[in-house]
Amino acid sequence: MRIKGWEKILKFTYIQIVKSKSFIVSTVLMLVIFGLMIGVTNFLPGLLSDKQSKKEAGNENEYIEVTDEEGNVTKEKAGYAIKKVDIYNNSALDIDFSFLTMLKIEYETKIIDGEDEYVQNATEELKNSDEARAITVITETNSGYNVIISRPENVDSIKNSHCYDLLTMFSEAIREANLINLGVSSDDIEKTAPHISTSINVGDEAVKNDVAEAISMSLTMSTSIILFVLILSYGQLTAQAIATEKASRVMELLLTSVKPLAVIVGKVLGTLLVAFTAIITVVIASSIMFMAFAPFGTLGEVFGIGGTNESTVSGLVLEIGESAGIGKPNESTIAALSAELPTAISGFSPVNILLIVIIFIMGFLFYSLIAGLIGASVSKIEDLQTALQPLVLISMLGFYLTYFSTFTGLDPDKKGNILVTISRYLPISSPFALPSAILAGQMTAVEIAVSIGVLALCLVLFALFVAKIYEHIILQNGNRVKIKDMVKLARAKNK
């Protein structure tokens, strides 16, 4: 076998890189960044919420624990800026206003049918009041009910957003009271508002809704970006390692023990192992941090192992929405996110993860072989960065092809977009495009097999090309070996 000894080179390469300060520092840095991201996800909403509430309503940001009939404990906002509400209920409904108590809002119900003038006076009086008070007037109309909330002009702590919040709650209370009035039981009321998952079919193919698409795109693009960064950075590490050996003339010593091909095989696989070490370290450490601190609860819950925790997802969305100052998110959005997240992450099945690992390895080998060849083509380490520019350009081209085609590919009208097809079958972009497409379920098994096959074929052909010319250029000093020289060498018949 011409590549005898590659495993010793792999071992040495792996140990030396993993021991190096640059690897330790970069891995620790990655862990810190992931830790911060998890920490920020967990604590920032609370901090921002605190700040926002303080700004708007003094110290009205406290939460109280509320226990429902089944003994479930939930957190509820302790109160709003509005301290007191006078309710003028002109409807015939018996409305339950106890939700105000949970919000620590004092209220008084006044039935004043036919005394509009009294209401007008009260509203006029409120207008110039400096109390954190509001007046709610509920009236019946031909088509249903009308709710008006009046607030004082000069009380800065009360914002329109608080009134909108109250309006939503009053509307819900009126809806429930109306249903009870019509003879619907409390249990049945719960059933009247199930989460409705919606989807559109184009032909016989389902199109994901906006929420699912957004989650899916984020996850798949993140996967592509991570693969791109890993393949490019560790590929360059291979080039660096080989160029260093050539420039420092260690290569000549190595070549008395092993064939040149064994050197590049050992280097490329050693660096691949280093990349996996970094990934596994970060994944394990991040998982531990995530499980320990993330507001999602355990990973198992998030990934649907042992059931999806909808309430935690809703809680997170609610908190982030509030903390970001955009008010409470629409309940349907929360429900949709809760419902779609497990679907969106369901792409990370064991088979798909295995496929992604295989594609990552192939993509890594493909780019690392190019990088190794570039590393072998330079005689001075300072020439390496210039020599690597074409590789960076090619990988960027591959990545952006994937990036743009992902967006166009998600548009049902552009399903057959040529960019999408190219990005999935071209070896320079398929390592980045395939994982996204597989996770998003956009490719059939046959398409995946063909794409992987094309990548594998190119990898083998390129490896043969490298094997043919590597030993010719590894000891060639002086000017950088150009591509045309490499092609000439590949064609030459040497013994």
Partner 1 sequence: MSLCVDSIKKKYGDYYAVNQLTFAIERPGVFALLGTNGAGKTTAIRVILGMLAKESGTVTWNDRPLNVVNERVGYLAEERGLYPKYKIIEQMHYFARLKGMNKRDAVRSIDYWFGRLGVDEYRKKRAEQLSKGNQQKIQLAAALVSDPELLILDEPMSGLDPVNTDLFKSIITEQIKKDKFIIMSSHQMSTVEEFCEGIVIMNRGNIVLQGDLNQIKKGYGRVNLSVKADSNILPLAAECGLYPISHTPKQIEFKVDNEAKAGELLKKIVAANITLVRFELREPSLHEIFVEKVGGDLSEAVKATGGGANEN
Q: Which residues bind partner 1 (CB under 8 A)?
A: 4-5, 8-9, 12, 16, 20, 244-245, 248-260, 471-472, 474-475, 478, 494-495
For residue 254, count other CB atoms closer than 10 A to its CB: 18
Pairing of strands 84-89, 133-140: parallel
Residue with tokens 């591509």: 483
Q: Which is nearer to partner 1, 331 or 383 (CB)?
A: 383
Sequence-distant (≥ 6) Cβ neighbours of residue 286 within 8 angstroms: 31, 34, 35, 38
**Residue from 162, 48, 153, 183 nearest 104 by CA:** 162
Q: Which is nearer to partner 1, 163 or 254 (CB)?
A: 254
What does the alpha-carbon distance between residue 335 and residue 449 come to, in Å, rounded to a whole number? 36
Q: Which is nearer to partner 1, 271 or 338 (CB)?
A: 271
Q: How far is the CB of 256 from partner 1 (least distance, A)?
A: 4
Q: Which is nearer to partner 1, 248 or 385 (CB)?
A: 248
Angle at 251 between CA 249 and CA 257, to 5 degrees: 135
Q: How far is the CB of 261 from partner 1 (least distance, A)?
A: 11
Query: Residue 51: what residue type?
Result: K
Q: How far is the CB of 481 from partner 1 (least distance, A)?
A: 12
Q: Which is nearer to partner 1, 16 or 330 (CB)?
A: 16
Q: Quickly list DSSP for 35-97.
A: HHHHHHHHHHHHHHHHHHHHHHHTTTT-EEEEE-TT--EEEEE---S--EEEEEE-SS-----
Q: How far is the CB of 480 from partner 1 (least distance, A)?
A: 15
Query: Residue 213: what residue type?
Result: E
Q: How far is the CB of 343 from partner 1 (least distance, A)?
A: 50
Q: Which is nearer to partner 1, 72 or 256 (CB)?
A: 256
Q: Which is nearer to partner 1, 28 or 250 (CB)?
A: 250
**Residue from 164, 131, 132 nearest 148 by CA:** 164
Q: How far is the CB of 3 from partner 1 (least distance, A)?
A: 10
Q: How far is the CB of 453 from partner 1 (least distance, A)?
A: 32
On the 0-12 / 13-18 / 19+ scale of CB atoms within 10 A, 213 is middle
Q: Which is nearer to partner 1, 191 or 495 (CB)?
A: 495
Residue pair 318/326 in contact by the 8 Å Cβ criterion: no
Residue with tokens 């909108």: 164
Q: How far is the CB of 408 from partner 1 (least distance, A)?
A: 47
